[in-house]
Amino acid sequence: MSVNITFLVITGVLLAAGFYLVLERTLTRVLLGIMLLGNGINLLILTSGGRRGVAPLFQSGLAAEEYSDPLPQALILTAIVITFAVTAFLLAMIYRSWTLTSADELADDTEDIKVSQKTAYDEEEDSPVAEDTTEFVDEEGRPVREGEE
């Protein structure tokens, strides 16, 4: 099977640029990255079909090797539609995020920060337990100690 090296190089460049952009914090750049990734992958699928050939519509007298492989083209068509839908959804989400926070950046997870700032000391588990020095309890069952009402 012969391989089109230009396509492969372009695929590599598109994917590298795409992954780089996806790592950004700015959402529009992430979106651009995802579009590049989608196109890069589509090109890769096209390359997987092998050498070029006649459009795969039946013509009498043409040997099977003359046609191009139709399956990757069908796969790409599906992939394009899916990427399109996801892009549209992401765009809507980015717009919503911008309306809410008037920033085009992904915000931090506040709960994550809370957990990371928590000390190892846990009030409930680590505080010294008061020793009961009395056998007397009040109506609710709590111990009554000297000097307490």
Partner 1 sequence: MNFLDLAPLAVVLPIIGAGAAFLARRQVLLQRLITIGILCLTLVLEAGMLAAVWGGESYAIHIGGWDSPFGIALMVDGFSAFMLLISTLVSLAVLFFATSQGLADGDEPGPVSVFHPAYLILLAGVSNAFLAADLFNLYVGFEILLTASYVLLTLGGTAERIRAGTTYVVVSVVSSVIFLMAIAMTYAATGTVNMADLAVKLPDLDQGPQLILHVLLLIAFGIKAAVFPLSLWLPDSYPTAPAPVTAVFAGLLTKVGVYAIVRTETLLFPGGAVNAGLLVVATLTMVIGILGALAQTDFKRMLSFTLTSHIGYLIFGVAVGGPLAIAATIYYVGHHIIVQTSLFMVAGLIERRAGSSNVTKLGSLAKLSPALSLLFFIPAINLGGIPPFSGFLGKFGLLHAAVQDADPLTWVAVGAGLLTSLLTLLAIIRVWARIFWRRAADAEAPNPELVHEAAQVAAETAAGGAQNPGLGLKLARELEAESLPWGMRYATGSLVVAGIALTVFAGPIFEFCERVAAELIAREPYISAILSF
Q: Which of 22, 29, 53, 67 binds partner 1 (CB under 8 A)?
A: 22
Handedness of CA 62, 66, 67, 71 (dihedral sign): positive
Minimum gap (Å) between residue 47 Cβ and partner 1:
7
Q: Residue 52's closest CA among 76, 72, 68, 71?
A: 68
140 binds partner 1 (CB under 8 A): yes
Contact 133, 147 (CB under 8 A): no
**In the range 51-70, which residues lie near partner 1 by CB under 8 A?**
none
Residue type, 49: G
CA distance 93 to 90: 5
13 binds partner 1 (CB under 8 A): no
Q: Which of 139, 146, 148, 149 binds partner 1 (CB under 8 A)?
A: 139
127 to 2, 114, 121, 124: CA distances (angstroms): 72, 21, 8, 6
Site for partner 1, rule CB under 8 A: 1, 15, 18-19, 22, 27, 30, 34, 37-38, 41, 44-45, 47-50, 71-72, 75, 78-79, 82, 85-86, 89-90, 93-94, 96-97, 100-101, 106-107, 109, 111-112, 114-115, 118, 123-125, 139-140
